[in-house]
Amino acid sequence: MKTTLTTTALGLVLAAGAAGAQELRFMCYQDGSECAAWGAQMATFEAENPGISVIVDEVPYASIIESLPVQLEVGEGPDLARVTDYGGLARFMLDVRPYVSDADAIEARYGQSLAWARVGDNNADGIYNIVDQLTATGGFANKTLFDQAGVEMPGAGATWAQWAEASRAVRDAVGVDFAMAIDRTGHRFAGPAMSYGAAYFDANGDPILVDDGFRTFAEQFVAWHEDGTLARDVWAGAGGGTYQDAAAEFINANLVMYYSGSWQIGRFGRDIGDAFDWVATGGICGPVACTGMPGGAGIVGFKQTEHPEAVGKLMEFMARDEVQGAVLAQTRNIPANSVLQEQGIAYQDVSDDVKAALTTFAASIPTFADSAYALQGYANNRAIYTSTPARITQAIVGELSLEDALTRLDADIAEAIAQ
Amino acid sequence: MLKTLATQAYDGAFNLFERPMLALQRLFGQSRIAWVFLLPNLLIFGLFTFLPIILNFVFATTGGDRILLADRPFVGTEHFASLLDCESYFDPNSCHRDLFWRAVGNTGWFVLMQVGFMILFSLITALILNRDIVLRGFFRAVFFYPVLLSPVVVALIWKWILQRNGVLNAGLEGAGFGTVNWLLEADWAFFWVVFVSIWCNMGFYVLILLAGLQSIPSDVYEAAEMDGTPRWRSLWRITLPLLMPTMLVVMVLSVIRAVQAFDEIYVLTGGGPGSATTLLIQYIYDVGFATRPRLYGLAAAASLLMAGVLFVLTMMQLAATRKQSGDN
């Protein structure tokens, strides 16, 4: 009898413990050291919240883009994830406003980026995402190559045409392979296209893609591929909507000017070291504007979680100034948190190149066009980002005339939106 | 002693299964007991082969970008009609789904070139390796080695060789020749895709053809030699006809494999430049998984059309095999 009672009591204690323990799975990708940085913060969170444990599952970015949506679609997947596709994942996201103690503080700090997930049927005042890495597209220039070539580097406010001319002059003088390169994605294409006058949305906020501005930049873009100004290897070196960058060429000092984004800063700081001097160019101007594209990775919770309250607590913890500050200092990213933007981040062990680049990119974000923010928050932006390289590349390699490529691009986007 | 022990162990094991087997036989009857043994395999086959095929049909006839069937509206043959909507099937630009028809055209050319040249080179290699040459064992291993490599590894190796600053261009430059952007010019990219595919698959078919060559009785050649038959005539009149059943097996396998080619090409060229090396499987992957929104229905319809073509091709080849067996 005594044995039975003891066993039953032990069983009840174990069962109660199991019921009380909440394990959160956090699917995380990283450009540099983001997952490791968040992993280090979890000990503090778990100490503050006994009974909640967090497992950080580090995955490649491709898993976030390709596998996560399918998992969520069938009701599976992690409790939280670090994502960039807010529009595409919006319908799976958990509004943690009911579970946070100070929603106003989060709103005050992350208001602009919170809007990116308030799309579709999501609540207009919902808290769905805590952006831990604000990004901006922009250029990087190899200063050493400019110095060697004796060519003056275009300054702040320089135009795309000026950068093209200067980069070609440097390439020809020093004998590297490439003058300029732009990452193969519609996201990177959008900034310069807007600078050339592409609106992307009409006055009612409905998407339009191929307008005069878009067409003008597309013509220039194809022409620069034809005359060798832009590295053909990047856009013509792949098919479909496949993403391709030119970071390796820039790191190997084989490229004069590279248009990518602030997420490359950490990698350049690490891989280039003191091999050569490089600078961030800041916004590059077209005839109409000088905008890049904002963006950023952030942590979101998902509706299918069994522990929404715990997810809310974790996201509020991640949003805290000192926690974000510690993670950003380690990951060398630009804060989305407005308080930290004002205070500045004490980045750890960074070179002068990296520090200057972070400052330049951070300063460029407030100058971006409204349409750039609208596109970033647009639910179907991924369709634009993948269709653009697929069709523009067809014009670059001569499979389609530019006119036909743009017609097809418009049709692709119209179909995607209709879905 | 050892033999007695083994016999006893065998008898013991036999007796262990005898009773339950007899009970099963009594329960189902002798004519139906075979189904009991087939059931595990049928279940696995049904779950992992037939069910996905049925699901593929369901996805092909439903629309939207949702994955759960309950959320997908029935659209009938809309996806098939969209894929087949063309003014001229020989001009992809006139088609509603131009990329699909480019992929169809590329796949057709790829199958023709890859299968044709692969069988030719495999046959020549097998004929050489079947002769009594120096280091025959070594060369047989060398030709088979690429088959053991992962297609992704093969593609990465060749990418390092063929890229702008790759080994091939370095060699050409060193020898005083000009360099070529092998993977950025559409025709060259297609050539290298075919070449790499042949390089990494040929060893498998060489092995099959070698087995076929070795199964030809040597006395036939001896008789021909005694009659003074020239070597080329022996090849034409004896080797090739007797090797034809093996060649058909090789053809069926290589056509199916060529139509399904994806991984090494995806890594080597990404389907580019433009869509120059995009084959059907990559089109299906792009439409279903890589672009937004994910058009599962369209991808499923495209895969069914491809399966239909493959089925017809395989049936034609099997019919040819049967006809030849009948002739023989």
Could you please state the CATH topology (level 3) that the domain comprising A21-134+295-353 is classified under: D-Maltodextrin-Binding Protein; domain 2 (3.40.190)
Over the stretch A308-358, which tens digit does the pLDDT of each residue have? 999 999 999 999 999 999 999 988 889 999 999 888 888 878 888 898 999
Q: For chain A, what is the mean pLDDT?
A: 91
> Would you call B273 and A408 a contact, using CB atoms and an 8 Å cutoff?
no
Question: Does B93 contact A404 at a Cβ distance shorter than 8 Å?
Answer: yes
- CA torsion sign for A62, A63, A65, A67 is positive
- Using the Cβ of B294 and the Cβ atoms of chain A, whether some distance falls under 8 Å is answered with yes
pLDDT of A297 > 70? The answer is yes
Please write the tens of the pLDDT for every residue from A388-418: 999 999 999 999 999 999 999 999 998 888 8
B22 is a domain residue? no
- Give the model confidence (pLDDT) of A168-178 as tens digits: 999 999 999 99
The pLDDT tens digits for A183-234 are: 999 999 999 999 999 999 988 888 888 999 999 999 999 999 999 999 999 9
Cβ–Cβ below 8 Å for A238 and B269: yes
Domain count, chain B: 1
Show the 3-state SS of chain B. CHHHHHHHHHHHHHHHHHHHHHHHHHHHCCCCHHHHHHHHHHHHHHHHHHHHHHHHHHHHCECCCCCCHHHCCECCCHHHHHHHCECCCCCHHHECCHHHHHHHHHHHHHHHHHHHHHHHHHHHHHHHHCCCCCCHHHHHHHHHHHHHCCHHHHHHHHHHHHCCCCHHHHHHHHCCCCCCCCCCCHHHHHHHHHHHHHHHHHHHHHHHHHHHHHCCCHHHHHHHHHCCCCHHHHHHHHHHHHHHHHHHHHHHHHHHHHHCCCHHHHHHCCCCCECCCCCHHHHHHHHHHHCCCCCHHHHHHHHHHHHHHHHHHHHHHHHHHHHHHHHC
CB within 8 Å: B292 and A386: yes
Q: Is the pLDDT of residue A2 over 70?
A: no
In chain A, which residue's Cα lies nearest the Cα of B277? Answer: A239
Amino acid at B66: R
Measure in Å the smallest separation between the Cα of B79 and chain A Cα atoms. Answer: 13
In a domain, B48, yes or no: no
Domain CATH code at residue B290 = 1.10.3720.10
Please report the pLDDT score of residue B3 as a whole number. 66
Residues of B in contact with A88 (CB under 8 A): 292
CA A164 to CA A413: how far, in whole Å?
Answer: 30
Domain assignment of residue B16, yes or no: no
Domain span at B179: 85-327
Domain annotation covers residue B293: yes
Residues A37-70: tens digit of each pLDDT: 999 999 999 999 999 999 999 999 889 988 899 8
- pLDDT of residue A13 exceeding 70: no
Which residues of chain B register pLDDT less than 70? 1-3, 14, 324-328
pLDDT score recorded for residue A17:
47
Q: How far is CA B227 from CA B220, B230, B231, B242, in A?
A: 11, 9, 12, 19
B271-315 pLDDT tens trace: 989 999 999 999 999 999 888 888 999 999 999 999 998 888 888
Q: Is A171 exposed, middle or buried (0-12, 13-18, 19+ CB in 10 A)?
A: buried
Q: What is the CATH number of domain A137-294+362-418?
A: 3.40.190.10
Asked whether residue B11 is domain-assigned, the answer is no
pLDDT at A5: 47
Residue A318 has what pLDDT? 97
Q: Using pLDDT thresholds of 50, 70 and 90, give the confidence band for residue A14.
A: very low
Question: Does residue B21 lie in a domain region?
Answer: no
Task: Tell whether B314 is within 8 A of chain A (Cβ).
Answer: no
**Sequence ranges of the domains in chain A:** 21-134+295-353, 137-294+362-418
What's the CA gap between A76 and A68, in Å, rounded?
9
Whether the domain at A21-134+295-353 and the domain at A137-294+362-418 fall into the same CATH topology:
yes
Q: Residues in chain A whose beta carbon is closer than 8 A to a beta carbon of chain B?
A: 66, 69-70, 73-74, 88, 177, 232-233, 236-242, 244, 254, 380, 382-383, 385-387, 390, 393-394, 396-400, 404, 408, 416, 419
Distance CA A24, CA A173 (A): 56
Cβ–Cβ of A236/B271 closer than 8 Å? no
